[in-house]
Amino acid sequence: HLERIASQPGDMMPATRFFAAIGRIDDVFDICAAYFFNEGRFAIAGRPPPGPLTRFDVIDLFWPPMAPVRRDPRFARLTERIGLARYWRETGSVPDYLRSAAT
């Protein structure tokens, strides 16, 4: 997975599921930093910076193997930074993972 994500941003989010499943949560957040912001140790040189209309896959963040990632405090910061938290606030939505955690 690490070899593939070195040059293929499209393989980054599927790789996060793998790393979450084997407990490498720090790698998940490092990969997310590269995928969403092209920052950190997995950033791809020469990759254009994301813009306001850049489309990202976020569904992977909510797959079952990612449950330990969602419990990490860094997840809230990630959702804030990528705009999901703002969307949830502005629409009055409570994401399923938070709704199920409250019950």
Q: How many CB atoms lie within 10 A of CB 81?
A: 14
Q: What is the pLDDT of residues 14-63, one digit of tens each?
A: 999 999 999 999 999 999 999 999 999 999 888 887 877 788 889 999 99
Question: Do the Cβ atoms of 72 and 25 come closer than 8 Å?
Answer: yes
Going by C-beta distance under 8 Å and a sequence separation of 6 or more, which residues neighbour residue 88? 79, 94, 95
* pTM listed for this prediction: 0.89
Task: Give residue 103's pLDDT.
Answer: 45
Distance of CA 41 to the CA centre of its chain: 15
Task: Judge whether residue 75 has pLDDT over 50.
Answer: yes
C-alpha 30/C-alpha 39 separation (Å) is: 8
